Amino acid sequence: MLGRKTVGPTLPPELERIVFELAARAATPTQVYFLLFVAARVKIWVEPYLYRVLYIAKPIAVPQQHRHPFPIARIMPHQRRNRHGFTPVPLEVLRRLVETHHFAACKTVEHAFFDNVFRLEGSDIISEFFSLCPNIVSLSLPGSPLAFLGETFPASDNLHHLSANLLTLLPLKKQRINFKHPIFRNLTHLEVLGDTIPFVPTPPYQNIYRIPRLTHIAFQSSVLANMLSAQITKMAQLECIVVLHLDDRTHKIASDLETDERFVIVEQASNTVDLWIDAVTHPSGYWGRAEAFIAAKRAGKIDRRIHDLRAFINSLIETVGNIYHSSVTNPDFEKLKHPNEDFYN
């Protein structure tokens, strides 16, 4: 009896795999990295989740002792990590793997962020990477230069979220953005970064209504939102119109937007990386908060004339604080003199 080993309860392999995959999907790559050491079978199950969210940065010098096929899950002294625990993947590493077709986890990539990658460094590699990763749902190209993507950019049935400065992402045709480009084919969420070009006489965004499946649109600047207000408020398929930042040059919002219940001012932080990672890894990202705010307005819980989400939340906090402050600093002393008076009457 003393020599017998006690064996705890065991899960069927199928259920065990579901548990670890759920944990990996909810974790950051850094956290997934530690799951690889649980067991050999667990490593097989969760390793693809290391590459579900890729944050690709400019080429950086990687010391030989720290070389790794994809150092996204390792926090090294020479690497910069943001508050979400994501480490940037050097573009040179991505280029080498794509060119040799050694990126075995390409089908597991769902979200890709190219941080300030310039045309000469990565324009070709992005198209090749995109063609090898057919399951990308969200793509962000905030630092792309002029004519970054050509007309032959591979289309994808799964790309639904795009964040980019469209004026520098695509070549203009007759001073207009070509919204029939394959990258827009199945978009539902579009985050328009940047401002506009003042010297272009014809609005480059004039044909934005040509994006067939667009339901959510966000503008980094209120200037561009005001400029396009007449067009976007007429797009019946839109469910959510968001402004992420009120520009200092104009605090006024166009009347078309002011009267549209789909319009929300979210006022997010200026860190593009953190904003994007919030949106793709948390259901409570700014899209989710904007949708909940619009639903509350339609349900009559919030005045439909209110659009500034942060100001509304701050006013609620202030109201609750005032109520609490009043209850503490201005008590009913008559009640305190006779606390049980109501009981006897």
Tens digit of each residue's pLDDT, the chain (345 residues): 555 555 556 788 889 999 998 988 877 777 888 888 999 999 888 888 888 888 877 654 444 444 444 434 333 333 444 555 566 676 777 777 666 665 666 778 888 888 766 554 545 677 777 777 888 898 888 765 544 566 666 667 889 999 888 877 776 666 778 888 888 889 999 998 876 655 555 578 888 989 999 999 999 888 888 888 889 999 999 999 999 876 655 567 888 898 899 999 887 665 667 777 777 766 667 888 889 889 988 888 888 888 888 777 766 665 565 555 555 555 554 444 444 444 334
Residue 340 resides in a domain: no
Cα 222 to chain center, whole Å? Answer: 19
What is the domain count for the chain?
2
Residue 270 resides in a domain: yes
Q: Both 21 and 83 in a single domain?
A: no
- pLDDT at position 80 is 46
Residue 87 resides in a domain: yes
Q: Both 31 and 55 in a single domain?
A: no
Q: Both 226 and 285 in a single domain?
A: yes
Give the CA distances from residue 196 to residues 99, 208, 232, 234, in Å, rounded to whole numbers and listed in that order: 36, 14, 16, 21
Q: Both 178 and 204 in a single domain?
A: yes
Q: Both 106 and 173 in a single domain?
A: yes
Q: Which residues, at least 6 apart from 49, have a Cβ–Cβ distance to it below 8 Å?
A: 21, 24, 25, 27, 29, 32, 108
Can you give the residue range of the structural domain that contains 137? 50-324
Residue 104 resides in a domain: yes
Distance CA 69, CA 108 (A): 16
Q: CB-hemisphere CA count at 13 Å for 104?
A: 7
Residue 339 resides in a domain: no
Distance CA 325, CA 329 (A): 6
Residue 338 resides in a domain: no
Q: Both 108 and 222 in a single domain?
A: yes
Tokens of 149: 């993507």
Amino acid letter, 212: P
- pLDDT at position 264 is 92
Residue 123 resides in a domain: yes
Helices (H) and strands (E) in the chain, counts: 14, 9
Q: Both 265 and 280 in a single domain?
A: yes
Residue 343 resides in a domain: no
Q: Both 23 and 89 in a single domain?
A: no
Q: Both 45 and 116 in a single domain?
A: no
Q: Both 69 and 136 in a single domain?
A: yes
- pLDDT at position 319 is 59
Q: Both 41 and 63 in a single domain?
A: no
Q: Both 149 and 37 in a single domain?
A: no
Give the CA distances from residue 114 to residues 111, 122, 168, 285, 341, in Å, rounded to whole numbers and listed in that order: 10, 9, 14, 20, 70
